[in-house]
């Protein structure tokens, strides 16, 4: 079922900005450690940004798409009440309603090219944002979808979360402190696997209950290497669709060496379990 928007358009000559009377149910939550959460509805958000139409080659739809959107920098500045430049040195986590949690380097988010989409410009009609189902799972990507227009701003480095409902700022030292392989040397395979996990896996999977919740926790109560053979894990990560129909995407970009590094990371973490849910 589509989320509903009530759009009232006011055209200003020579600009592409609009004011919206939005459905209050369409909201985005801004979180920051030590501060009260702030929830902003669509109408308020679009009133404080330069609404525009952006066109791009979408990596999830695998086709050319157009969206109604706000510049990401303006959204973050309004939501957190400070310049987007203040995000340098911070970790920003984008959380979706299905449990997906994508961390990003705050320095990336001030770059031009990022937009927070709130409607499918090719299919919106009246108060319907027009979202086409996305990905193999045919998911409704609303209420918000973070997209990028730069030729180098692909989904391997930049966050492209859909179903976005919450954005959180956290300092690096407070970001998932129990996923680091503290017994591994910085030049070890286990540490290299840790870097891979942080960049490509943590949006959907957790280690020690820290990370995304789309997929299972890979360390507690048992590590994945405690109940699956290493070769099977590597084959599954490389192409899960050869095992089962799943929402997990193939990871053919990972080399055999990188897959070995991931296994080394999982083996290191099985001795570093932290289970906040376990009762004494």
pLDDT band of residue 120 (cuts 50, 70, 90) is very high
Percentage of residues of the chain with pLDDT beyond 70 = 89
pLDDT of residue 277: 77
Average pLDDT over residues 246-275: 92
CATH architecture of 27-174: Alpha-Beta Complex (3.90)
pLDDT digits 0-9 by tens, 234-252: 999 999 989 988 878 888 8
Structure tokens at 258: 């990188």
Q: How many CA atoms lie within 13 A of 114 on its CB side?
A: 21
Q: Note whether 27-174 and 189-269 share their fold.
A: no
DSSP-assigned letters across all residues of the chain: -PPP--------TT---------TTSEEEEEETTS--EEEEHHHHHHTS--EEEEEEETTTTEEEEEEEEEHHHHHHHHHTS-GGGGTT-EEEEEETTS-EEEEEHHHHTSTTEEEEEEETTT-BTTB--PPPBTTTTB---S-EEEE-STT--TTTS---SSEEEEEEE-GGGS-TTSS-TTS-TTSHHHHHHHHHHHHTTTT-EETTEE-SSS--SSSSS-GGGTS-HHHHHHHHH-GGGT---SPPP-TTS-HHHHHHHHHHHHHHTTS---TT---
Distance between CA atoms of residues 126 and 112, nearest Å: 30
Q: Are the C-beta atoms of 250 and 233 separated by less than 8 Å?
A: no
User: pTM of the full predicted structure?
Assistant: 0.69
pLDDT digits 0-9 by tens, 136-168: 778 899 999 999 999 889 887 789 999 999 999
Domain 189-269 CATH class label? mainly alpha
Domains of the chain: which residue ranges? 27-174, 189-269
Structure tokens at 11: 């055209």
| Higher pLDDT among residues 160 and 135, named by residue | 160
């Amino acid at each position: 079922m589509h989320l509903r928007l009530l759009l009232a358009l006011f055209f200003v000559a020579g600009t592409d900005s609009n004011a919206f009377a939005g459905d209050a149910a369409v909201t985005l939550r801004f979180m920051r450690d030590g501060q009260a959460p702030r929830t902003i509805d669509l109408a308020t958000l679009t009133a404080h940004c330069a609404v525009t139409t952006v066109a791009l080659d979408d990596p999830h739809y695998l086709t050319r798409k157009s969206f109604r959107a706000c510049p990401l920098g303006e959204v973050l500045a309004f939501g957190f009440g400070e310049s987007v430049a203040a995000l340098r040195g911070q970790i920003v986590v984008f959380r979706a309603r299905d449990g997906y949690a994508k961390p990003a380097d705050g320095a990336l988010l001030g770059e031009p090219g990022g937009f927070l989409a709130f409607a499918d410009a090719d299919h919106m009609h009246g108060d319907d944002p027009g979202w086409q189902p996305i990905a193999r799972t045919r998911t409704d990507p609303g209420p918000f979808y973070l997209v990028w227009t730069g030729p180098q701003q692909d989904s391997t480095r930049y966050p492209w979360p859909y179903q976005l409902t919450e954005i959180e700022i956290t300092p690096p030292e407070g970001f998932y402190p129990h996923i680091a392989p503290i017994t591994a040397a910085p030049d070890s395979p286990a540490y290299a696997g840790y870097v891979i996990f942080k960049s490509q896996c943590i949006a959907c999977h957790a280690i020690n209950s820290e990370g995304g919740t789309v997929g299972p926790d890979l360390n507690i109560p048992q590590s994945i290497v405690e109940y699956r053979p290493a070769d099977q894990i590597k084959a599954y990560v490389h192409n899960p669709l050869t095992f089962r129909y799943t929402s997990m995407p193939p990871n053919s970009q990972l080399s055999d060496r990188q897959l070995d590094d991931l296994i080394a990371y999982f083996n290191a973490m099985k001795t570093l379990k932290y289970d906040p849910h376990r009762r004494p």
